[in-house]
Amino acid sequence: MAARVTYYATALPRTATTTTDYSVAKVTTSFLPSANKTYAILWSAVLDGNDINYSQKVRLQNTTASATLAEEIMDPRNVTIATSTTSAGGLALYTAPASPVSQTLQMQFATSNAAMSCGIQEAKIFVIELIDGVDIWDFSVAEQTTTSATYGP
């Protein structure tokens, strides 16, 4: 079996901002994909905020394609402590075209209001080439609801 191709970048120390746009990049990675290959992009971070009236925002941005691959907007939950933390992240898929160019991914963050400082730490981006015939993947972006009060198939 061929070796699995991976790329990653991390930025562990805490950084804070009061900007309301996504002009602050916490971590950046670039990779040159192989033609017609699919890549799993896993990203995660710990966010903090100090005001329950405003939101913390983080997104995974493909700056090469000017495309937002994922975005989370969260509100601090606990006013009894100085800073409330929450985790963010997820999985995105990227399929390279027949003639790929280098892709640059950034985890960018902001606050919904400059009155609140938004912090981010332990930011990580991992890019893993999926192997045809070995890795199995599927996804759905449709919303699903239930009235069931129990878990089960």
Q: One-letter amino acid identity for 141?
A: V
Q: What is the pLDDT of residue 95?
A: 94
Q: In sequence order, what E strands does 12-146 have?
A: 15-17, 24-31, 38-49, 56-62, 67-74, 84-95, 103-111, 118-129
Residue type, 26: K
Nearest Cα to 93, choosing from 72, 123, 62?
A: 62
Give the pTM.
0.84
Q: Which long-range contacts (CB under 8 A, 24 or more apart) does 67-70 make?
A: 69/41, 69/94, 69/105, 70/43
Cα–Cα distance measured from residue 117 to residue 115, given in angstroms and rounded to the nearest whole number: 7
Instruction: Tell me the sheet residues that pair with 44.
Output: 89, 124
129: β partners? 39
**pLDDT higher than threshold 60 for residue 73:** yes
Express each pLDDT in 25-52 by its tens digit.
999 999 999 999 999 999 999 998 877 7
Q: For residues 50 and 116, which has the higher predicted lDDT (pLDDT)?
A: 116
Residue 81 burial (C-beta neighbours within 10 Å; 0-12, 13-18, 19+): exposed
Confidence of residue 21 (pLDDT cuts 50, 70, 90): very high
Give the largest CA-CA distance in the chain.
53
Q: Which two tokens stand for residue 14?
A: 């805490």
- What confidence tier does 133 reach under pLDDT thresholds 50, 70, 90? confident
Query: In this predicted structure, what is the pLDDT of residue 50?
Result: 77
